[in-house]
Amino acid sequence: MSDFKISVTRLLAVEGGIVRDTDGITNFGICSKYNPGVDIETLTVKRAEDWYYDHYWLPMHLFSIARQEIADQLLDAGVNCGAETAIMMAQEAYNDLYPANALKVDGSLGAKTALVINALKFPRGYMNALIYHRVKHYLTIIEAHPEKSRDRVGWLNRI
């Protein structure tokens, strides 16, 4: 099964350190605006890892994904796009490849979703489909909110 420590290490490499902007203070990708109970300025790597484990890894059921690269991609997408959106992208990517056995796109990584993702015979093709859905998500945001185009390079670099 996938290893949280590997996934979170990769995530923290793209999230960076302290940033102050219109959303307040962000540290290790955890933003004060959306997490008022977290002391962002004194956040340590260990506390950030624990936070991602409790708020993303466990609720998203990423521990049930066998392939590390898929778990990494889903954790990053969950943090950047929202957990439910990330799982919906995962389900849509599977459905693109296997429409005859389509999953219900419900944003929940349940037993069936995990089973079919773990049984993939062509994981590279699945990863490409998943990445396609992430890119499409970001471009849709930019189309609806042109001011967000400033985030395009950062969003696409993290995929």
Residue with structure tokens 């290490």? 9
pLDDT tens, 126-138? 999 999 999 999 9
Q: How confident is the model at residue 101 (pLDDT cuts 50, 70, 90)?
A: very high
| pLDDT at residue number 27 | 95
pLDDT tens, 25-58? 999 999 999 899 999 999 999 999 999 999 999 9
- Of the chain, the percentage scoring pLDDT greater than 70 comes to 100
Element (H, E) at 21: strand 19-21
CATH of the domain at 34: 1.20.141.10
Helices marked H in 41-101: 45-52, 68-81, 83-97
| pLDDT at residue number 22 | 77
| pLDDT at residue number 63 | 98
Total length of the chain: 159
Instruction: Reply yes or no on whether the pLDDT at 24 is more than 80.
Output: yes
From 13-17, 25-29, 61-65, 99-103, the region with the lowest mean pLDDT: 13-17
Instruction: Reply yes or no on whether the pLDDT at 17 is more than 90.
Output: no
CB atoms within 10 A of CB 155: 18
**Tokens standing for 44?**
């340590």
**Tokens standing for 53?**
């484990």
Query: What's the number of domains the chain is made of?
Result: 1
Alpha carbon distance 127, 135 (integer Å): 12
Range of the domain at 140: 4-157
CB atoms within 10 A of CB 152: 13
